[in-house]
């Protein structure tokens, strides 16, 4: 049963698909603008014996053909579907073989036309032509004020005559366009300037059998060099008052409309003068252009469910405390403006270390909407001493940190609209393990250093003593001399080469009775052991 149901769906889909994508029932497509001179070409080889021609039309919503006109060499007949502007282009069609039809079409004249050539009262050849009517609308009407939104709208009836419509700006620049239900294909240019003057090209890509794959139409656009659009139609949403922690993502709301272009303004915190407003972000979805500022580094257009390319706007702001203030997001849809204002406070906790205390500083901005700010310890029974100043509140923790003073310290900010935001700082007791580990690690180094001092002193004494002794006897000092005395450290050169490298210079020090330095070193080692 399920298999049969699936088969029915597939067959139905195939039928629908063939209606649009199968072999069309025409030989050519002609696209014309309303009231523009149009010719539907129908020709045959001269002298082919054609003695009569019948032009007929089947309207889009009709099932039957209606006669427009019938012509023979000697007589003419007009059908009920003939319009005043319709006529044969060549009165001598019998000799030239040109049976083309001329007309000034209206929108209701679109449909399927038939050029039927008759020989000896029998149909010889038939040529079918689909006539589609293009409607182009330019808004605002020319001349167009500067800064307004230019709208170029093109629609074709019937729409199945084409696959798509594209727009090109002066200079051959491809324009973004969108197909809108019951409207047509729309291309827009927000905030037009004088340099947007010129000829715009509408290109229709034809579907099915046609003498060409596309057809173009020129549209003249004139910008008024002396007039600037005034946007008085502004819809204001209810202002949002909110707060957030510094360096955390905050959702900055824009009007919920599918717009063309947006401007984000910002006024610094704690300032009531709107003369300080400045643009911090601008986005034009039709041109695909973005204007960025220094503050834009902390702003980005929000992703799903928002889609800036489709005109659904919102921002993610990661503010520093200086980024608080008033934000105004203006979204332009054609020549109407939708505005959303957000007053934002930003909270940040900082610390400062002193010899006897740890200072916890809670800073906040946009004071006009703040009702109160306070510090609170996790143990509610412990009262904190707090110091207030405009835009900040401070408390201190005595040093050293103990179990009684360690824990969570929370700064809470309350707005006048009832919203509350807080930031918590965790104070911890210094780890004893880390202290002892650091201290114990010093002892081996210190012990080695203390052991090294007498060794170095003894070595230096020996060198000085040896130098004096040699000087007294006029004997030259040497390194690793082959002496034959058993007490020499390296009396054999082979032993010297096999000894591990020590990075030291070994002097030829020989025992001298009671003053033997080796005996002194042995006594020192015994004392150490």
Angle in degrees, 0-180, between the axes of helices 517-528 and 442-473, rounded to the nearest 10 = 160
Per-residue pLDDT at 481 exceeds 70: no
Q: Are 175 and 260 in contact (CB under 8 A)?
A: no
Q: 378 and 423: one domain?
A: yes
Of the candidates 319, 345, 371, which is a domain's last residue? Answer: 345
Per-residue pLDDT at 404 exceeds 70: yes
166 inside domain: yes
Q: 128 and 139: one domain?
A: no
Residue range 113-142: mean pLDDT, rounded: 92
Per-residue pLDDT at 479 exceeds 90: no
Q: 32 and 122: one domain?
A: yes
Q: 35 and 119: one domain?
A: yes
99 inside domain: yes
- Confidence (pLDDT) at 96: 87
Per-residue pLDDT at 443 exceeds 70: no
| Residue 346 vs residues 43, 351, 367, 505: alpha-carbon distances, Å | 78, 17, 10, 69
Q: 50 and 84: one domain?
A: yes
Per-residue pLDDT at 483 exceeds 50: no
Q: 179 and 197: one domain?
A: yes
Residue range 357-365: mean pLDDT, rounded: 95
**How big, in percent rounded to 5, are the helix, strand and coil portions of the chain?**
20, 45, 35
5 inside domain: no
How much is the pTM? 0.71
Of the candidates 132, 155, 181, which is a domain's last residue? Answer: 132
Residue range 96-112: mean pLDDT, rounded: 93
Q: 307 and 381: one domain?
A: no
467 inside domain: no
213-234 per-position pLDDT tens digit: 899 999 999 999 999 998 889 9
439 inside domain: no
Place of tokens 């139409």: 217
- Confidence (pLDDT) at 462: 45
Q: 331 and 364: one domain?
A: no
Q: 362 and 378: one domain?
A: yes
409-418 per-position pLDDT tens digit: 999 999 999 9
Of the candidates 83, 103, 132, which is a domain's last residue? Answer: 132
- Stretch (H or E) spanning 185: strand 184-189
Domain range enclosing 320: 234-345
Burial class (CB in 10 A: 0-12, 13-18, 19+), 138: middle
Q: 76 and 102: one domain?
A: yes
- Residue 315's CB is within 10 A of a number of other CB atoms, namely 25
20-76 per-position pLDDT tens digit: 445 678 999 999 999 999 999 999 887 666 778 999 999 988 889 999 999 887 777
More confident residue, 408 or 276: 408
- Per the structure, the count of domains in the chain is 4
Q: 116 and 148: one domain?
A: no
Mean pLDDT of the chain: 81
Q: 189 and 266: one domain?
A: no
Find the CATH number of the domain harbouring 415.
2.60.40.10
């Amino acid at each position: 049963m399920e298999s049969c149901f699936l088969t029915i769906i597939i067959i139905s889909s195939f039928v629908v698909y063939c209606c649009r994508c199968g072999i069309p029932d025409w030989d050519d497509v002609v696209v014309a603008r309303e009231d523009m001179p149009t010719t539907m070409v129908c020709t045959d080889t001269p002298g082919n014996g054609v003695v009569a021609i019948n032009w007929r039309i089947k309207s889009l919503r009709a099932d039957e053909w209606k006669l427009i006109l019938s012509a023979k060499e000697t007589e003419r007949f007009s059908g009920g579907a003939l319009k005043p502007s319709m006529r044969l282009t060549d009165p001598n069609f019998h000799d030239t073989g040109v049976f083309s039809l001329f007309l000034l079409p209206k929108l209701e004249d679109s449909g399927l036309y038939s050029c039927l050539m008759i020989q000896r009262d029998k149909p010889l050849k038939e040529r079918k032509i689909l006539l589609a009517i293009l409607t182009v609308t330019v808004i605002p009407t020319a001349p167009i004020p500067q800064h307004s939104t230019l709208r170029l709208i093109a629609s074709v009836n019937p729409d199945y005559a084409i696959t798509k419509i594209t727009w090109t700006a002066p200079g051959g620049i491809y324009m973004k366009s969108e197909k809108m239900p019951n409207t047509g294909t729309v291309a827009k240019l927000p905030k037009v300037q004088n340099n947007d003057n010129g000829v715009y090209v509408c290109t229709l890509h034809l579907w099915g059998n046609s003498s060409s794959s596309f057809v173009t139409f020129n549209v003249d656009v004139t910008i008024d060099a002396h007039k600037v659009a005034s946007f008085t139609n502004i819809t204001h949403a209810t202002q949002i008052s909110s707060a957030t922690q510094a360096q955390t993502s905050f959702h900055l709301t824009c009007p919920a409309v599918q717009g063309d272009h947006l401007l984000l303004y910002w006024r610094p915190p704690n300032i009531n003068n709107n003369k300080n407003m400045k643009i911090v972000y601008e986005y034009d979805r039709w041109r695909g252009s973005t204007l960025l500022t220094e503050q834009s580094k902390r702003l980005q257009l929000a992703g799903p469910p928002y889609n800036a390319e489709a005109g659904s706007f919102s921002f993610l702001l990661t503010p520093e405390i200086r980024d608080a203030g008033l934000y105004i997001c203006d979204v332009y849809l054609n020549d109407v403006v939708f505005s959303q204002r957000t007053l934002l406070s930003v909270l940040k906790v900082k610390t400062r270390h002193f010899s006897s205390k740890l200072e916890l500083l809670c800073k906040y901005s946009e004071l006009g909407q703040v009702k109160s700010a306070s510090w609170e310890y996790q143990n509610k029974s412990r009262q904190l001493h707090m110091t207030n100043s405009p835009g900040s509140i401070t408390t201190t923790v005595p040093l050293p940190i103990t179990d009684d003073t360690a824990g969570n310290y929370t700064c809470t900010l309350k707005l006048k609209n009832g919203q509350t935001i807080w930031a918590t700082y965790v104070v911890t007791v210094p780890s004893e393990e880390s202290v002892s580990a650091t201290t114990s690690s010093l002892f081996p180094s210190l012990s080695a250093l203390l052991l090294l001092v007498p060794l170095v002193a003894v070595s230096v004494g020996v060198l000085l003593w040896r130098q004096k002794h040699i000087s007294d006897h006029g004997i030259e000092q040497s390194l690793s001399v082959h002496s034959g005395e058993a007490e020499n450290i390296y009396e054999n050169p082979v032993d010297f080469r096999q000894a591990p490298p020590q990075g030291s210079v070994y002097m030829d020090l020989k025992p001298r009775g009671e003053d033997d330095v080796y005996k002194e070193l042995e006594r020192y080692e015994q004392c150490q052991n």
